[in-house]
Amino acid sequence: MNFLRAIILIVSVFVLSSCVATTAQKQADASLRFKMGQVYFSETKYSLALKELISAVELHPDEPSYRHLLGLTYFTRKKYDEAAVHLEEAVRLRPDFADASVNLGVVYLRLGRLDEAVELFNQALENVFYATPEVAHYNLGCAYYEKGSYRQSIVHFKRTVSINNKYALAFNNMGLAFDKLGMLDKAERSYRSAVKNEPRFAAAYFNLGEVLLKKKKRRASLAAFRKVVELAPQSEKARNARDYIDLLR
């Protein structure tokens, strides 16, 4: 009887050890896949990144960083529903993962889930360890703009540039919000700040051209539209800018 118990104990220990070894090996393999996915993602080889990251998640589904990067990779492919699934899981696994919360909020913006996006951005801002609050404020500004709350969007774009005064996208979008409110002087200043901080920002030059045209500054407007054509000659903005140029000549 004791002999039988000893055999059972030995077998049980062997099985347990095998399980531990298998789990450890899976996690090691998952880590390798994830690192390869990171490399491909940084090189913008998103299809290759997707393959590696799917494997990493299959091997180790409870690692939030794997879910996060997989969600971002789906986002780059405009697979927003799939991106949401993995970013939601990243946040569930690690509720204080502020970057994942913000990126999930951005996905929700694309899906039109604006109230949920606002909640996630605010959640990130409540995290004292969140290193880039200007990003959350910028996205809050975008969310409120999409909701038609232009004054509230301006509040957050201003918060963005108070933290990072070179955030050209925030200046540009603040200009759009001022434009919606008919505050053309402030819109012009915002667009000029955008192109000052990002001299190759064709869309901001286009917006500047339109607001200058509304202010009847034809020569300055023409110069802005010509800059759009110079910077992005094959873009839709350039095609529209050429139409304005033809009208203003």
- Of the pLDDT bands very low, low, confident and very high (cuts 50, 70, 90), residue 13 is very low
Helices (H), 94-201: 98-110, 114-125, 133-146, 150-163, 168-180, 184-197
Mean pLDDT of 96-121: 98
Confidence at residue 12, expressed as pLDDT on a 0 to 100 scale: 47
Q: Residue 234 belongs to what H/E stretch?
A: none
Mean pLDDT of 27-54: 96
- CA angle 114/115/117 to nearest 5° reads 65
Do 91 and 100 meet the contact criterion of CB atoms below 8 Å apart?
yes
Look at 24-28, 142-146, 160-164 and tell me which has the smallest mean pLDDT: 24-28
Confidence at residue 23, expressed as pLDDT on a 0 to 100 scale: 81
CA distance 209 to 218: 9
Residue 67: is it exposed, middle or buried by C-beta count within 10 angstroms (0-12/13-18/19+)? buried
In the predicted model, is pLDDT for residue 38 greater than 60?
yes
- Domain ranges for the chain, please list them: 200-249
* Full-model pTM: 0.88
Contacts of 150 (CB under 8 A, 6+ apart): 144, 177, 178, 180, 181
